[in-house]
A and B are shown apart, each in its own frame.
Chain A
Amino acid sequence: MRTFDWIVLVIALLAIVLYGVYKGRGSKNIRGYLLADKSMKWYTVALSIMATQASAITFTSTPGQAYVDGMRFVQFYFGLPLAMIILSFTAVPIFHKLNVFTAYEYLEQRFDLKTRVLASIVFLVQRGLSAGITIYAPSLVLSVMLGVDIRVTSLVIGGIVIIYTTSGGVKAVNYTDFQQMLVIMFGMVAAFCATIILLPSEVSFGDALHVAGGMGKLNVVDFSFDFDNRYNFWSGLVGGMFVALAYFGCDQSQVQRYLTGRSVTQSRLGLLFNGIAKVPMQFFILLIGAMVFVFYQFVAPPIFFNPVEKARISTSAYASEFSSLEQQYNQAIERKSDVLRKYLAVVKSNDDQTLAPLKIELNKANTNAEEIRKGAVEVLRKNDPAVDTNDTNYIFLSFVLKYLPVGLVGLIIACIFAASMSSSSGELSALATTSVVDVYKRLWKKDGTERHYLMVSRIAMALWGVYGIAFAQYAGRLGSLVEAVNILGSLFYGTLLGIFLLAFYLKSVDGTSTFIAAFVGEGVVLGCFWFTKIAWLWFNVIGCGVVVGVALILNLYFKNSHRDNNKKAPSIAR
């Protein structure tokens, strides 16, 4: 990064902190601190929801995902608009009417204390683990790409978040989220335009789409049904809807965003705006990745995108072998771009007969380059069997740092910091709220003053932030467990959603049936995870279905046995 990029980055980050601290000032009680006095307008709620959902990895990894796997990932979001509608007419009015601080508070009113505590603990465990990852993952990528120690990047991200969340509470979180989302949107549009401009002069945007499509990267919709296929229309619509229902309906980090709406209408509009904007936004980010892919069809990409691993191999015993593969790779890319130019000329002339053999030739050239790249990855593995061979997270940032103009690089890095901070701050405020409202205030100290709870909330915010930074320092040592932690989050959502569906829709089901069913549902999901190959999106459907089904059966059983006992009771009395 050049000096001007650092200036842009520092100004953007400073502006975010100062704005957050300024807007969040003046909270006198926990309603102000944890719910922003329910004063937010719908557009602040909407952008805060979107900013919390969009982590830094969304912007570093999603374009890389399109580069490697095409744009089919967008299907994962097809169920989200439906979930927004369902939550708008169910969860939003209920939470507003009951005036709750957390989603779990409602469970005590509907069921009992043990169900509330169970759901709170599930949330604290799952979200607590991912709070560490939310700081760790972008810190790692940024430290590798900027050549800065990971302790510095994680301290910058975590430190800034702690400053404005602790001082301004949820109001600061929402206002900074709003601002961060604007920076992110502007940065992404700028990155897209720059990528198109950087394409060779003879390659138009339409040509670029033909290249990406011809090489299988514009596979946006796939209607075929397959349980093991992670991303198709059906898994996205059904599985994605359940994930979104669980995330936006039962996860305090999102529920807290729309609980700050000044009325039911404002909260509903916030959610529905997310339902309208999310799918096109993800499509757009994936399209950036597809365009970066096209760019690298004409300009040789690095054979491996993680610069640290490349530097390590260049000083190892395998340096010459790797370097030779790099040369072969560059030649293969040159051959491929020659074929591509011919391919584009034929596409423009609409000569279908010449197009078919050229497509075959193009695929051969592509396969050849990919084989050489696989060989290079094998060499990396020979040098260090524990090396992380997945370089998807580094593709987009590598492109940004090498090819985008000065100033824009600083802006994109600011986007990634902003995205990381917006998700972290949402998580910290939700973790602090649940810790204070559902655990400390409910189970430990029920008769504290407003001032006392406000102070405890600030301390909880800061402690969760410190925990997140500390986790980020050691997460690297967990190796593949980091991925396991991400999957772990998806294992709990089905159960949580099942509990909430019972609470919202099946009024006859009691707390004990729900409590037992939650354990059964979690057991089934874990069984599916360990013993089957079912794609993880379906775990949410399975977990939710089992919890609802078992609770209904248990409820029937408990009611019958209660009725029997009532019948027996008089005879004993006699």
Chain B
Amino acid sequence: MRMLQSETSDLDLVTSNQDQATELSDPPPFLKSWGQIYTIVVGELALLVLLFYLFSRAFR
């Protein structure tokens, strides 16, 4: 009985670790990878800096 409990808890642990590993490597809900989302964030920053620069120049 005790062995059965121990096996069950080991199994739970393995499942939980697998769940965690799956969750950590989950793709984002939009786009294919996190890399693409990070690229969008950096791209938006670059675009904003460019627009701010043009904005500053246009009304200097």
Q: Which of A23-31, A217-225, A498-506 interfaces with chain B?
A: A217-225
Which listed residue, A82, A93, A263, touches B45 by the CB 8 Å rule?
Answer: A82
The residues in A between 411 and 441 inclusive whose CB is less than 8 angstroms from any CB of B are none
Q: Supply 24 A–B pairs (Cβ within 8 Å), ascending by A.
A: A74-B52, A78-B49, A81-B41, A81-B42, A82-B42, A84-B41, A85-B38, A88-B34, A93-B24, A97-B24, A209-B59, A213-B56, A213-B58, A218-B60, A220-B56, A233-B49, A264-B23, A264-B26, A265-B23, A265-B26, A268-B34, A272-B38, A272-B41, A276-B44
Q: Say whether chain A's binding surface is mostly helix, strand, loop, or mixed.
A: helix
Is A283 touching B52 in the complex (CB atoms < 8 A)?
yes
Residues on B with C-beta less than 8 A from A265 are 23, 26, 28-29
Give per-residue flags for B16-30: 1 if the beta carbon is below 8 A from chain A beta carbons, else 0: 000010011010110
The residues in A between 246 and 265 inclusive whose CB is less than 8 angstroms from any CB of B are 263-265
> Is A214 in the interface zone, CB < 8 Å from B?
yes
Is B56 touching A89 in the complex (CB atoms < 8 A)?
no
Bound: A74/B56 CA distance, A: 12
> Is A494 in the interface zone, CB < 8 Å from B?
no
Is A213 touching B41 in the complex (CB atoms < 8 A)?
no
Count of A residues near B, CB < 8 Å? 33
Is B23 touching A263 in the complex (CB atoms < 8 A)?
yes
Closest to B48 in A: A279
Q: How far is the CB of A352 from chain B (nearest CB, A)?
A: 13
The residues in B between 1 and 58 inclusive whose CB is less than 8 angstroms from any CB of A are 20, 23-24, 26, 28-29, 34, 37-38, 40-42, 44-45, 48-49, 52-53, 55-56, 58
Compute the total of residue contacts between A and B using a CB distance below 8 Å.
Answer: 72
A residues near B, CB below 8 A?
Answer: 74, 78, 81-82, 84-85, 88-89, 93, 96-97, 209-210, 212-214, 218-221, 223, 233, 263-265, 268-269, 272, 275-276, 279-280, 283
Residues on A with C-beta less than 8 A from B40 are 276
Residues on A with C-beta less than 8 A from B26 are 263-265
Q: How far is the CB of B53 from chain A (nearest CB, A)?
A: 5
Closest to A211 in B: B59
Which listed residue, A96, A221, A268, A275, touches B52 by the CB 8 Å rule?
Answer: A221
**A-B contacts besides A85-B38, A221-B52, A280-B48, 14 pairs, CB < 8 Å:** A78-B45, A82-B45, A88-B38, A89-B34, A213-B59, A219-B56, A220-B55, A221-B56, A264-B24, A265-B23, A268-B28, A268-B34, A272-B41, A276-B41
Closest to A93 in B: B24
Q: How far is the CB of A522 from chain B (nearest CB, A)?
A: 31
Q: How far is the CB of B39 from chain A (nearest CB, A)?
A: 9
Residues on A with C-beta less than 8 A from B38 are 85, 88-89, 272
Bound: A84/B26 CA distance, A: 18
Bound: A283/B51 CA distance, A: 12
Residues on B with C-beta less than 8 A from A275 are 41, 45
Is B49 touching A210 in the complex (CB atoms < 8 A)?
no
Bound: A89/B26 CA distance, A: 12
Q: How far is the CB of A66 from chain B (nearest CB, A)?
A: 13
Q: How far is the CB of A504 from chain B (nearest CB, A)?
A: 15
Contact status of A218 and B59, CB under 8 A, knowing A85-B38, A233-B49, A263-B26: yes
Residues on B with C-beta less than 8 A from A233 are 49
Q: How far is the CB of B6 from chain A (nearest CB, A)?
A: 22
Bound: A214/B55 CA distance, A: 12
Bound: A268/B52 CA distance, A: 27
Q: How far is the CB of A46 from chain B (nearest CB, A)?
A: 13
Q: How far is the CB of A563 from chain B (nearest CB, A)?
A: 35
Is A212 touching B59 in the complex (CB atoms < 8 A)?
yes
Residues on B with C-beta less than 8 A from A264 are 23-24, 26
Bound: A213/B48 CA distance, A: 18
Q: How far is the CB of B30 from chain A (nearest CB, A)?
A: 9
Is B42 touching A210 in the complex (CB atoms < 8 A)?
no
Please name the 9 residue pairs, one residue from A and one from B, whose CB atoms are nearest each other, closest first. Answer: A213-B59, A220-B52, A81-B45, A221-B53, A220-B56, A221-B52, A85-B38, A218-B59, A275-B41
